[in-house]
């Protein structure tokens, strides 16, 4: 039986990420608009609000589309991220652990062989506010279990 499990950010994480990126883009768009208004002396607040709103909405749309590219597929072959040529077979995995990176807890794959090093997966993850994923521990457990099964060979079928 082939195993294929996909891990993506939760809908709440996608919403939080897109709101954050839209707010940053809106604030960044305000900087040149405010500079123009200060230099010209023309304080048109409607234009200022429109610039921030349009920039925020455009950034929201792009961030929402971009979040579809976040994720990882775990199957019988190994670990494969979305939209990336990088792939790690189970034979090159030394360990999978949850680690704290800034305000997030993320799965980190420790690699063996000539490449060595670590690989921080972009999904699943858990953070603060809208970035919380209550099932992160279970998802990492599933990854570790698949790795252990492929590392030590297939699990014998149940006889009961």
Q: Residue 85 contacts by C-beta under 8 Å, 6 or more apart in sequence? A: none
Q: Is residue 77 part of a domain?
A: yes
Q: For residues 115 and 133, state if they share a domain.
A: yes
Q: For residues 42 and 20, state if they share a domain.
A: yes
Chosen domain end from 36, 52, 68: 68
pLDDT, tens only, 4-29: 888 888 888 888 888 888 888 888 88
pLDDT, tens only, 77-128: 888 888 777 788 888 888 999 898 888 898 888 988 776 788 888 888 888 8
Q: For residues 36 and 93, state if they share a domain.
A: no
Q: Could you give the CA distance from residue 36 to residue 34 in angstroms, rounded to a whole number?
A: 5
Q: For residues 136 and 111, state if they share a domain.
A: yes
Q: Is residue 159 part of a domain?
A: no
Place of tokens 């709103």: 53
Averaged pLDDT for residues 65-74:
83
Q: Is residue 2 part of a domain?
A: no
Q: Could you give the number of structural domains in the chain?
A: 2
Averaged pLDDT for residues 51-62:
85
Q: Is residue 1 part of a domain?
A: no
> The CATH number of the domain where 138 resides is what?
2.30.29
Q: For residues 61 and 84, state if they share a domain.
A: no
Q: For residues 148 and 88, state if they share a domain.
A: yes
Going from the C-alpha of 38 to that of each of 13, 45, 51, 84, the distances in angstroms are: 37, 12, 15, 45
Q: Which domain holds residue 115?
A: 72-152
Report the predicted TM-score, pTM, of the whole model to 2 decimal places. 0.72
Percentage of residues in the chain having pLDDT higher than 70 = 94
Q: Are strands 72-75 and 78-81 parallel, antiparallel or unpaired?
A: antiparallel
Q: For residues 77 and 119, state if they share a domain.
A: yes
């Amino acid at each position: 039986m082939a195993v294929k499990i996909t891990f993506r950010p939760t809908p709440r994480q996608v919403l939080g990420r897109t709101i954050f990126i839209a707010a940053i883009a809106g604030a960044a768009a305000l900087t040149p608009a405010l500079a123009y208004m200060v230099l010209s002396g023309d304080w048109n607040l409607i234009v200022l609000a429109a610039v921030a709103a349009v920039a925020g909405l455009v950034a929201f749309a792009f961030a929402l589309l971009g979040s579809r590219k976040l994720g990882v597929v775990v199957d019988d072959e190994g670990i494969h991220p979305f939209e990336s040529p990088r792939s790690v077979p189970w034979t090159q995995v030394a360990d999978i652990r949850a680690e704290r990176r800034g305000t997030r807890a993320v799965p980190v794959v420790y690699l063996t062989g000539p490449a060595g090093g670590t690989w921080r997966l972009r999904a699943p993850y858990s953070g603060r506010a809208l970035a919380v994923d209550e099932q992160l521990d279970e998802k990492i457990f599933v990854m570790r279990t698949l790795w252990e099964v492929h590392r030590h060979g297939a699990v014998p079928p149940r006889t009961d």
